[in-house]
Structure 1
Amino acid sequence: MELSYPSAPASRSSDGDSNSRMLPPRQLDWVSDGSVDLHGRPVRRALTGCWRAALFIIGGEFSERLSYYGIASNLITYMTTVLHESLASAAKNANNWSGVTLVVPLVGAFFADAYFGKYWTIATVSGVYVIGLLLLTLSVSVSSLKPPPCATDGICPRASRGQLGFFFFSLYLISVGTGGVKPCLEAFGADQFEEENREERRMKASFFNWWYFGLCMGAMVAFTFLVYIQDNVSWGLGFGIPAIAMAFALATFMVGTKYYRHKVPAGSPLTRVAKVVVAAFCKRRMTLPHSPDLLYEVIDKESIRVGRRKLSHTDNLRFLDKAAIIEDGDFSSNQCSWNLCTVTQVEEVKLIVCILPVWLAMLTYGVVFAQTSTIFTKQGSTMDRKMGSNFEIPAASLQSITTIVIVTLLPIYDRAFVPIVSRLTGHRRGITMLQRIGFGLFLSILSMIAAAITERKRIDAARDHGLLDSPTSIIPLSIFWLLPQYILSGISDVFAIVGQQEFFYDQVPDTTRSFGMALYLCAIGVGSFLSSLLITIIETITGAGSRSWFTSNINRGHLDYFYWLLAVLSTMNLIMYSMISHAYDYKAVEKRNDHDAEKPV
């Protein structure tokens, strides 16, 4: 698609200010990064994008996360109390569903970036999301679709295959919906800010903080209001409200259509990677020129047309540079695109290769992250949850502590921490993205240590009151003893989760931003799978009976050992991450008017 900007500036700097002062106001009105409207026409800066568009997207995310966490936060409770599954089975099923829900976005992101665009992917798959929520509401509401309650003698009938099949079909249909919505919505929101404009680039850095703020507000409503309804009113209403909220999210997203900026789909990223690898292999015997300036690159206009900024040459993975060596016949060949690649195309492949070690280091954090909505909740269900004489806190509602910490700290981080620290460090973000993630990983270790200490105290309290063999009895120990682990988890998320969102959006190629968001989600999802695998391995080693760390009688189990194990694994992972981040080079983007690289900090 050839874009024509009626009054676009002839040249401007990537900061969008020094040269822009010399241009007439009308020339500054056109967004110059390749963004278009829904019909493929160039867009005006004054009428589209920025916060006027991002607020609709954040509002949609608020409702979508309310829907998701309205299901996920109390899922293990439903599985153990209504479907009558064991703790280990319920934890593994919840982790597997969470894992699939966070891995499927790789597929949704691929098709959004390559073919359909983020807008149409979000609009279409949201309908699937709503259908899955409606079917799940039926599953928990209709008596024939769930097992009968436990008998007075304590015998609890298991759910039939048909009942489980309908329940999990509905649940995994929600995963498909999330796969298209979650990675695209955040990337689409960040796309509303032009990276080449200094003011909009500053707003984009704040966007990720406020995006997560909106996400957590939706989660907090789910952890408090919805969980209370599920525990004290009915599961049908508690799961029906998320369906309504998701429909509202879709409506909110559509209302903002006229304000959105769109990136043109750039084709399959797998094909682009393959072209670089094939070209480099075919020219493997050639000698690289003494100067990278002799490698092939296109003019700015062609790169901007597809929304791709030119990247500066780097010295890592130099064997791939051979794909950009110009030889006789390259431009006359019908297969030119497979014989010759630009420096930017080569550097994009390098980016993908270089972020993979960082992604691998996020997997252990994903395992820790999975405990908040599963094992933490099961701990709380055995503790004294009374507030006053008439109100009892739902166990899953304590997850709201994490979100309260996040929504409290994020504005402070954005408005106070970043300006103060940036003056000391010189970085516009205060600290680098990798430093932010690293500090979050450190805090996650502390949260596991706090969880292990609290679990030991809970078991000691059960022993002191003769309740070790009474798993259904409430231990006279306040649920608020769990606060430290939830608070540390919340602070950890402010650094690690938001840092990952920034990193994987910013460091992937410009044309695969949805894929970058999917990578971050996938790390958390694979972490959930690894949590299930770890539980299975521990059960195999310790035995499935009373000696198991995850015995059905949680008072006789050893969740404290599990938390200590996660703390040790997380410490080892942090050491590995420190080495990876120290060696990492950030993406270097060429400025429009010169060849000075702009390196994000």
Structure 2
Amino acid sequence: MSIPEEEVGLLEDLVNDSVDHRGNLAVRSSTGGWRSASLIIGVEVAERFAYVGIACNMITYLTEQLGQSTANAAVNVNTWIGTASTLPIIGAFLADAYLGRYRTILGSSLIYILGLGLLTLSASLTLMGSSENRKPSFLMNVLFFCSLYLVAIAQGGHKPCVQAFGADQFDSDHPKERLARGSFFNWWFLFLSGGIAISILVMVYIQSNVNWAFGFGIPCLFMVMALAIFFLGRKTYRYPKRTHEKKNNGFVRIGRVFFGAIKNRKLMNLNKAMLLGEEGVEPCSNMDAKGLVRLIPIWITSMVSMIPYAQYSTLFTKQGVTVDRRILPGLEIPPATLLSFVSISVLISVPIYEHVFLPIARKMTKKPNGITMLQRIGTGMMLTCVNMVLAALVEAKRLRIAEEHGLIDKPNVTIPMSIWWFVPQYMLVGMIEVFGLVGAQEFFYDQVPTELRSIGLAFSLSALGLSNFLSGLLIIVVDWATERDGGHSWLNNNLNRAHIDYFYWLLAASTAIAFFVFVFISRSYVYRRVDQV
């Protein structure tokens, strides 16, 4: 008995693994796709505006308003960013196991607004009680750091779920939508970079030239806007279809996958040939049990290679304080403004990647995606190593100029070196993000079972978060090791006496080692689908 054409068309218009806001199977023509994804991208742009408005100039606030040393401030910034980037593992676990991505985003947004509001209050009280000879009280510091870590907790639920929820708007079983989902990660990052660039330019100016209360209050208003936009789009979204198990058994379902991965890890080397499908791709049914374990070596090498990334908003910014920051006669920019060049680089790199690099790569490799996700991540690692070498050379030049002009012991005197010397390394950071960070996000989202995709993205974010913790630990060790026996620390408060260039060479070497280990591991990695090889 044949099925009527109108029923066939209706079935093809349904998305099997998604439902609408009423719990019915999602209709392709009226839910999801770029329309819904665009709303979610708008939410994330507003959220990034808020987060970056705090993070980009935080080291300046800690050193100038709270009176911390350069090394301590850098460690505190690294620790906070690390916490904000690691907590998504917990938030994603709760979302995938029980709450769902949509509810997790709503709840974490409310916590976000609370944290930003208290941060604004903290800055206002600090400004009211500050003086040249008095540091903020202990209670002021407690209020500030509690507010700051409320934002980190909110990040734990918001960050992995929003991006995963955006990618959920595309059906991986539909050929056109699957390709669109690959582009989604690129365009997601492009629009985020636009919001980040605006945030850096606007918020750093306000924080440096108006006051810090406004500098923290405006991001709070943007977060309120983000929540309103997200809620208004609820009827157009596709929601991942829950299994027939009760929601209270969500942790049990997730646990089965984890324990299944550990158990089946023992079987991987017994008969690999039996597990492999066509063209070296393992069938999804086999991959689901072992996927998480197989990601761990990639995750570890990615984490090590991301340690240099922690320096872009800390040591790079402190270096900029010491040089000539005039870009036009009479116009001097705050050093944190240079971070906007990262976003500008992304805005340039994503269209080139999509419309120039990918078409050429597809012709050369005969692959739908041009290059594999691991090749993309590896390219980012290689560029990171190059950037650390470049940063070390620029810093060595800055130190030579300081010595030539007798400024070694005059840290408050501007070194006659243009801030434009630092622009290339910031621009290279943008390229690193397009290849390395975006590639890692797509990889960890795609290479886990469907019900664990928030955790997959959190896995990617946690690599960045833990790299910040490692950076903070490395700074403490290097500061102690180079300062003992009366020596000058590589991270001395007087940067003209410091040797940050040596620290950058150390990071370049560690990234190079991580890259070669990554290449060795990735050669034996087995993708979940044929079209990814």
Distance 2:148 2:379 in 1: 34
Partner of 2:207 in structure 1?
Answer: 230
Q: CA deviation at 1:23?
A: 7.3
Partner of 2:14 in structure 1?
Answer: 30
TM-aligned CA distance change 1:466 to 1:349, over 3 Å: same
Structure 1 letter corresponding to 2:9 = P
1:129·1:174 contact (CA, 8 Å) conserved in 2?
yes
Encode CA deviations 1:342-367: one digit per residue, 9 max, x unaligned.
Answer: x9665313111111100001112221
Q: Where does structure 1 lack aligned partners over 5 or more consecutive residues?
A: 1-8, 11-19, 152-156, 293-310, 318-342, 589-597
Distance 1:210 1:441 in 2: 21
- 1:188 matched to 2:120? The reply is no
Distance 1:406 1:349 in 2: 36
Q: CA deviation at 1:225?
A: 1.0
Partner of 1:56 in structure 2?
Answer: 39
2:200·2:340 contact (CA, 8 Å) conserved in 1?
yes
TM-aligned CA distance change 1:465 to 1:193, over 3 Å: same
- 1:551 matched to 2:526? The reply is no
Pairing of 1:531-570 with structure 2 (within 5 A): 531-543=471-483, 547-570=488-511
Q: CA deviation at 1:424?
A: 1.6
Partner of 2:229 in structure 1?
Answer: 252
TM-aligned CA distance change 1:546 to 1:423, over 3 Å: same
Distance 1:383 1:174 in 2: 32
Q: CA deviation at 1:291?
A: 7.3
Encode CA deviations 1:546-573: one digit per residue, 9 max, x unaligned.
Answer: 5111111111001000001101111111
Q: Return the match for 1:391 from 305, 323, 331.
A: 331
Distance 2:281 2:13 in 1: 39
Structure 2 letter corresponding to 1:55 = S
Distance 1:365 1:575 in 2: 11
Pairing of 1:339-358 with structure 2 (within 5 A): 347-358=287-298
Q: Secondary structure at the match of 1:503?
A: helix
Distance 1:280 1:543 in 2: 49
Partner of 2:216 in structure 1?
Answer: 239
Partner of 1:150 in structure 2?
Answer: 132
Q: Return the match for 1:132 from 115, 130, 133.
A: 115
Partner of 1:73 in structure 2?
Answer: 56
CA-atom RMSD in angstroms:
2.7
Moved beyond 6 Å, runs of 4+: 20-23, 277-281, 311-317
Partner of 2:22 in structure 1?
Answer: 39
Q: CA deviation at 1:419?
A: 2.0
2:254·2:452 contact (CA, 8 Å) conserved in 1?
no
Distance 1:572 1:599 in 2: 30
Q: Secondary structure at the match of 2:416?
A: strand
Q: CA deviation at 1:390?
A: 2.4
Identity among equivalent positions (%) equals 43
Q: Secondary structure at the match of 2:94?
A: helix
TM-aligned CA distance change 1:543 to 1:291, over 3 Å: closer
- Give the structure, 1 or 2, with the largest relative contact order (CA under 8 Å, sep 6 or more): 2
Partner of 1:501 in structure 2?
Answer: 441
- 1:431 matched to 2:375? The reply is no
- 1:216 matched to 2:193? The reply is yes
- 1:512 matched to 2:512? The reply is no
TM-aligned CA distance change 1:237 to 1:316, over 3 Å: same
Partner of 2:138 in structure 1?
Answer: 161
TM-aligned CA distance change 1:315 to 1:496, over 3 Å: closer
Partner of 2:247 in structure 1?
Answer: none
Partner of 1:13 in structure 2?
Answer: none
When normalised by structure 2's length, the TM-score is 0.92
Q: Secondary structure at the match of 1:35?
A: strand
Encode CA deviations 1:521-560: one digit per residue, 9 max, x unaligned.
Answer: 1000000000001011112211266511111111100100
Distance 2:261 2:370 in 1: 37
Q: CA deviation at 1:97?
A: 0.2
Distance 1:121 1:113 in 2: 10
Distance 1:468 1:422 in 2: 53
Distance 1:344 1:123 in 2: 32
Structure 2 letter corresponding to 1:520 = S
Paired residues in the alignment total: 522
TM-aligned CA distance change 1:471 to 1:190, over 3 Å: same
Q: CA deviation at 1:127?
A: 0.5
Distance 1:232 1:277 in 2: 54
Pairing of 1:100-119 with structure 2 (within 5 A): 100-119=83-102
- 1:271 matched to 2:255? The reply is yes
Encode CA deviations 1:11-58: one digit per residue, 9 max, x unaligned.
Answer: xxxxxxxxx9997433322112x2012232111100000101000000
Pairing of 1:459-538 with structure 2 (within 5 A): 459-538=399-478
Distance 1:187 1:579 in 2: 29
Q: Return the match for 1:89 from 72, 78, 87.
A: 72
2:15·2:27 contact (CA, 8 Å) conserved in 1?
yes
When normalised by structure 1's length, the TM-score is 0.82
Distance 2:5 2:312 in 1: 51
Partner of 1:332 in structure 2?
Answer: none
1:117·1:264 contact (CA, 8 Å) conserved in 2?
no
Distance 1:314 1:509 in 2: 21
TM-aligned CA distance change 1:26 to 1:316, over 3 Å: closer
Q: CA deviation at 1:141?
A: 1.4
1:312·1:344 contact (CA, 8 Å) conserved in 2?
no
Structure 1 letter corresponding to 2:407 = L
Q: CA deviation at 1:489?
A: 1.2
Q: Return the match for 1:414 from 354, 373, 394.
A: 354
Partner of 2:345 in structure 1?
Answer: 405
Q: CA deviation at 1:467?
A: 1.4
Partner of 2:246 in structure 1?
Answer: none
Distance 1:372 1:291 in 2: 46
Structure 1 letter corresponding to 2:260 = V
Q: Secondary structure at the match of 1:556?
A: coil
Q: Secondary structure at the match of 1:356?
A: helix
Comparing 369-378 with 160-169, greater Cα deviation is found at 160-169
Pairing of 1:269-308 with structure 2 (within 5 A): 270-273=254-257, 276=260
Partner of 1:374 in structure 2?
Answer: 314
1:314·1:347 contact (CA, 8 Å) conserved in 2?
no
Partner of 1:457 in structure 2?
Answer: 397
1:114·1:265 contact (CA, 8 Å) conserved in 2?
no
Structure number having the greater helix percentage: 2
